[in-house]
Amino acid sequence: MLRHAACGVLAGGLALAACARAPKPHVQPAPAPSAPAAAGAAARPTLPQDARGLGLVPLPASIEMLGTAERLGTAERLGTAPFQAGAGTVIVADTSSAEVSRIAGQLALFIRRATGVTPKIVAPTGTPPASAMVLAIGPVDSAESYDLTVAPGGVRLTAPAGAGLFYGVQTLRQLLPYWGEYEAVLYQQPRPAALPAVHIRDTPRYQWRGAMLDVARHFFTVDEVKRVVDLIALHKMNRLHLHLADDQGWRIEIKTWPDLTAKGGATEVGGGPGGFYTQAQYADIVAYAADRFITVVPEIDMPGHTNAALSSYAELNCQGQAPPPFTGTDVGFSSLCVEMDFTYLFIADVVREIAAITPGPYFHMGGDEVKTLTPAHYRAFVERVQAIVQTHGKQMIGWDEVAVATLLPTSIVQHWRPDAAHSELRRAPHLILSPADRTYLDMKYERETALGLSWAGLIPIKTAYDWDPATLVPETAPSAILGVEAPLWSETIATMRDAEFLAMPRLAVIAELGWSPAPRDWESFRVRLGAQAPRWTALGVNFYRAPEIPWTR
């Protein structure tokens, strides 16, 4: 039985007494052992009714409460508090691995912030000391999976790779009291933090759990992008798609075409100053994301959405004349000169330079909303760019219009138009699902929402939550669906405060769609989402307090 197995795991490395003392669970019968979640296929194991009281988002694949269900002081979660982090807590981790050490350091930081005590990180030597939090590499389902046991004598987190350990630490973080999110709590005295006794075995439903930030319509600084990285990491997302070029701005330094940023980077919607990332700054974002197991996906939108490039270089235009910069919000009017070979030399330079500073395997070529080309010219363009992207060792991604082209087996289609023809989408070798009427973070929540657009409809929380990625495009092979992504377009947002208001809480909704097994339970989700309020407040997140969610504060 899983419950005893959990103690067995624990007993292997921690004091046996810990398990012997663990109060008998009085919740549901132990869930069936969770199978690794095959995309779309995994059935939800029975979860204890009170698992929702843990306040975890996204919901893990399997949770077993080891403690009794008692309310814990101010914390709105259930379970006894058999593990007390604080003075005496030691993190045991393989300090010879830089990656494991880094993750242990991240856990140490959360413990310090929650308790006022910085735990020592020590290498494993035989039996772990009492009150140890052990991070171990060991077999669990897939690379992103983890197995976590919290019991009175200690905590044991096992994962086959760094990614799983990192997600297990994010779960521990959400199990710790919310005040661990404050950066500078001053403690008169160390304050122990209770972790509820629980056994969690977790694995993501989908490999692609993404968010997109449009830094082209309005520019966001490196620090602001890092803040977005932090928010997506907290919710176990693993892709950050950066929309780096559009009509209103070009945001990434290309050394062979310096005016792209010198001229094309100096505008944005509304006429503000714009901005751009040097290649070194972009590399800094990529490294910061990689430390959180997030792959950056760079997008240069083409052949449409290219006014910033066209206005920077006259020779990219069919007539040899540069248009003025554009600071409005219309779409569909611009296009690269697709019949001119010179255009493809330009594209090859851009792809080569970006590929060289992008360790991830993807390059997104946009391809959306082209209203000035014939279908034949459009298709030929996509296929030519696809070949360039392949030459530079990357997999091409394009918005769903590109599905009309002949695509390589490695290419990926990002579905966004709610009315895109399913017959075309089914031709896609791989699909990322970003249906605009469910996942677009820039849609208004309700008619009165001051920020955002509404062309794809209003998206209150339940609308964002209530759909199944596995059945959105009928007759698509489940294996073709890589996962989900939530795009945040920035026509109506100029600051991080505004961005957070549209993104949160819907980013957490899409994170759950990407991670948690189906079928999902709206009632459980509302409660767990509501429990994030003090945590997000501590992080300074300007989230929308949707009236249908029972926010705990």
Nearest residue (CB) to ligand TNX, 55 versus 366: 366
Query: Which region, left, alpha or beta, applies to residue 547 given φ > 0 means left and ψ of -120 to 50 means alpha?
Result: alpha
Radius of gyration of the chain (CA): 24
Contacts with 533 (C-beta within 8 Å, 6 or more apart), sequence order: 543, 545, 551, 552, 553
Contact between 442 and ligand TNX per CB under 6 A:
yes
Instruction: Quote the CA–CA distance of 455 and 457 in Å, as a whole number.
Output: 6
- Count other Cβ atoms within 10 Å, centred on residue 372: 13
**Residue of 110, 220, 440, 536 that binds ligand TNX (CB under 6 A):** 440
- Going by the DSSP 8-state scheme, the letter that residue 472 receives in this structure is S
Q: How far is the CB of 220 from ligand TNX (least distance, A)?
A: 15
Nearest residue (CB) to ligand TNX, 321 versus 455: 455
Instruction: Quote the CA–CA distance of 278 and 267 in Å, as a whole number.
Output: 16
Contact between 500 and ligand TNX per CB under 6 A:
no
Contact between 144 and ligand TNX per CB under 6 A:
no
Contact between 416 and ligand TNX per CB under 6 A:
yes
Token pair 């699909």 is found at 431
Nearest residue (CB) to ligand TNX, 85 versus 441: 441
Instruction: Quote the CA–CA distance of 544 and 460 in Å, as a whole number.
Output: 10
- The stretches of 189-278 forming alpha helices (DSSP H) are 222-234, 259-262
Choose among 85, 79, 54, 75: nearest CA to 66: 79
Token pair 């992504």 is found at 485
Contacts with 225 (C-beta within 8 Å, 6 or more apart), sequence order: 213, 215, 240, 242, 285
Instruction: Quote the CA–CA distance of 491 and 500 in Å, as a whole number.
Output: 14
Pairing state of beta strands 208-214 and 146-151? unpaired
Q: How far is the CB of 298 from ligand TNX (least distance, A)?
A: 15
Contact between 399 and ligand TNX per CB under 6 A:
yes
**Residue of 42, 69, 72, 453 that binds ligand TNX (CB under 6 A):** 453
Contact between 489 and ligand TNX per CB under 6 A:
yes
Question: Any idea which residues carry the catalytic annotation?
Answer: 369
Q: How far is the CB of 511 from ligand TNX (least distance, A)?
A: 20
Nearest residue (CB) to ligand TNX, 167 versus 378: 378
Contact between 368 and ligand TNX per CB under 6 A:
yes
Q: How far is the CB of 132 from ligand TNX (least distance, A)?
A: 48
Contact between 224 and ligand TNX per CB under 6 A:
no
Q: How far is the CB of 272 from ligand TNX (least distance, A)?
A: 17
Nearest residue (CB) to ligand TNX, 24 versus 455: 455
Nearest residue (CB) to ligand TNX, 196 versus 452: 452
Tokens for 367, please give them.
Answer: 């391809």
Number of residues engaging ligand TNX in binding (CB under 6 A): 10
Between 310 and 349, how does the x/- string for binding to ligand TNX read (CB under 6 A)? Answer: ---------------------x------------------
Residues that bind ligand TNX (CB under 6 A): 331, 368-369, 399, 416, 440, 442, 453, 489, 491
